[in-house]
Amino acid sequence: MRPAPVVPARNTRTVVAASADPGLQPGPVPAIPGVRLAGVRAGIRYPDRLDLVAVELAEGSETCAVFTQNAFCAAPVEIARRHLGAASPRYLLINAGNANAGTGGAGREAALACCRALARRRGISLEQVLPFSTGVIGEALPVDSIGKAMPQLLARLDAEAWPDAARGILTTDTKAKSAWAELCVNGKSLRIAGFAKGAGMIRPDMATMLAFVFTDAGLSRSQLDALLREQVEHSFNRITVDGDTSTNDACVLCATGAGPKLAESDGTNWNRFREALGGVFRHLAQAIIRDAEGAGKFITVRVSEGGSSSECLQVAYAVAESPLVKTACFASDPNWGRILAAVGRAGVEELDPGSLRIFLGGVPVVAHGEPHGNYSEEAGLAAMAGTDIEIDIRLGRGDSEETVWTSDLGHEYVRINADYRT
């Protein structure tokens, strides 16, 4: 499956790392000045997989993050939130294979013990380490295994180790997900790069399961926070696999300040940077959907002519998370009645069926709440046959528009989740 294209700003190049799709050969993610990474095998759940990652940030870097809205948030989420409010992070410590969620006080102490092991070796405060975990919920984090791997992990820190970091955070993902962009600002290079993981339990209320984006731009904490929230809202907050919000969701944006400084007052460069940053965020979010558990289809649900953004999202998520719509997409079946039914139960007040129009891949299917006069089953089948499917819903109520990306639902999703702990 080919990733959706990232449209670059003028004088900008945005490149999807080859690890995100075997068919692309753009070369490796470049170094971001002020960032070093490493990934090692700690044997957290599987003996022969990279599963422990560290990211080192240069002193003076700014870091912002958003976390899951799930009330049963994991221990590392609690600790990372606390540490982020107490100090400027120097290290991110990420493990896969164990979520350290639903583990109570023992889980919090385990997360702190791992942070402490890194902090002592680097001579920094405990609060300067942010922990992140992903994997099975309800099992004790193997602190001893992580501690034993710490010397090797720190010894391998390298500015070029993006592939190891991207692979080391995966669980049921089938491929690593990376993206990067480079701009020229006032004659100087400015870079953005990130990696993410997802696969299942994806309906973010802030981000996806784990996503990390870095830039060498010179940005203040307030600028960084505003950019993070803006970009998350239109990328990771617009994807869903199964409607489940994870206990461990986190999205982090770091700026090392080693490159050109940016200010909103410099409208052209600021907007170019925002566009490039948005391209990286959107690519990572869409890559998660393309690699969703058992996914064979990448589905874009676009809802327009809504009375408000919120009602467009109501409709989009009702369609994107409908098991009947998703299974129809899996079968390449243009069963538009399932889409119509999902729109009708989305909860939009005073929705007029007579104003509703639905298109599949540009093919008019429903007009004024009934079958379009020129619709044919052959045209519908053709619209559903490819790996990318577009569902275009027009409510006829206003000018608002929203887009959500989702995947189909088939046998492999059930198998993966039935066998997840075995």
Q: What is the CATH number of the domain that holds 305?
A: 3.10.20.340
Residues with a catalytic annotation lie at: 208
Could you tell me if 87 and 57 lie in one domain?
A: yes
What is the average pLDDT score of the chain? 89
Count how many Cα atoms sit within 13 Å of the Cα of residue 38 in the half-sphere of its side chain.
18
pLDDT-based confidence at 97, cuts 50/70/90?
very high
Task: Kindly state whether residues 257 and 307 are assigned to the same domain.
Answer: no
pLDDT band at 21, cuts 50/70/90?
very low
- Average pLDDT over every residue of 116-133: 98
| pLDDT given for residue 204 in this prediction | 67
Dist CA 262 CA 217 (whole Å): 7
Strand partners, 407: 298
Domain boundary among 290, 316, 338: 290
**Percent of the chain whose predicted confidence (pLDDT) is above 70:** 90
Q: Are residues 85 and 177 both part of a single domain?
A: yes
Closest CA to 213 of 259, 255, 184: 255
Does 22 have pLDDT greater than 50? no
Residue 40 is part of a domain; what is its CATH number? 3.60.70.12
- Picking from 290, 320, 343, the residue at the C-terminal end of a domain is 290
Say if residue 18 is in the same domain as residue 84: yes
- Is residue 3 a part of any domain in this protein? no
Residue 421 binned pLDDT confidence (cut-offs 50, 70, 90): low
- CA–CA distance, 395 with 401 (Å, rounded to integer): 10
Identify the domain containing residue 216 by its residue range. Answer: 12-290
Q: What is the pLDDT of residues 177-213, one digit of tens each?
A: 999 999 999 999 999 999 999 876 557 665 557 999 9
Q: Is 70 exceeded by the pLDDT of residue 230?
A: yes
Domain count for the chain: 2
Same domain, 270 and 340: no
Q: Which residue has the higher pLDDT, 107 or 11?
A: 107
pLDDT at 17: 44
Structural contact between residues 215 and 259, judged by C-beta atoms closer than 8 angstroms = yes
| 215 in the same domain as 81 | yes
- The phi, psi pair for 67, rounded to 5°, reads -130, 170
pLDDT band at 70 (very low <50, low <70, confident <90, very high): confident
**Is 363 found in the same domain as 269?**
no
Are both 47 and 133 inside the same structural domain? yes
pLDDT tens, position by position, 152-174: 999 999 999 999 999 999 988 88
